[in-house]
Amino acid sequence: MKRVALVTGGARGIGLGISKALAREGFDLAVCGVRPPDQAAEAVPGALYVQADVGDRAARARLLEAVRQRFGRLDVLVNNAGITSLGRMDILEATEESYDRVMATNLKGPYFLTQAAAKWMIEQKKGCVIFITSISAVMATPNRGDYCLSKAGLAMATQLWAARLGEFGIPVYEVRPGIIKSDMTAPVTAKYDKLIAEGLTVEPRWGEPDDVGRAVVTLVRGDVPYATGQVLTVDGGLTIRRL
């Protein structure tokens, strides 16, 4: 029987790279996103697509029920869905509306989706959970304060869930991407083209969604055993401290 993976935000950007990598690995896939099915369902052929905002409790319940009805099992949860700060406003001008929206999608949603999925995995006596964070978990960007806080929170969520689920043999990992080509980074392409050319990253290129997808596959395949709670940074050497 094929293993089943759920990738939130799995029909575009980094999430699509993860979905495609898992499909190549032979997983049955469920993906969710906020776009209507006619705009997203064909991104990953053969996958179950569910229109669901992970920041909404009822939508999370509906998402997991759809996976249960279609596949009857869940082997891997990849918490990838996320949004950037609305308007990328300086923290001196940032709004509570943006903060609440970003936190609901990026932190509250995956925290409680993991809670529900973990109970299912405990029943199955198997599973794996991955949180997709960002270098923004450890690097300050003052015009995206709420985004940075949400990703730092997810880094701690990884450790919390790893500590809680260890007794059940369910590993939990954090994958921390750097500058990845996606819809989210499209508005700042020129900025990062210049910075990368000037040496921002050790590897002189943008990251690709497939780079993140292949890292996820390495973890869910079990190629990094005895390492629950650990961080796999996929940033081309951006966060190496250099003189």
Alpha-carbon distance 114 to 28, whole Å? 19
**Where in the sequence numbering do the catalytic residues fall?**
147
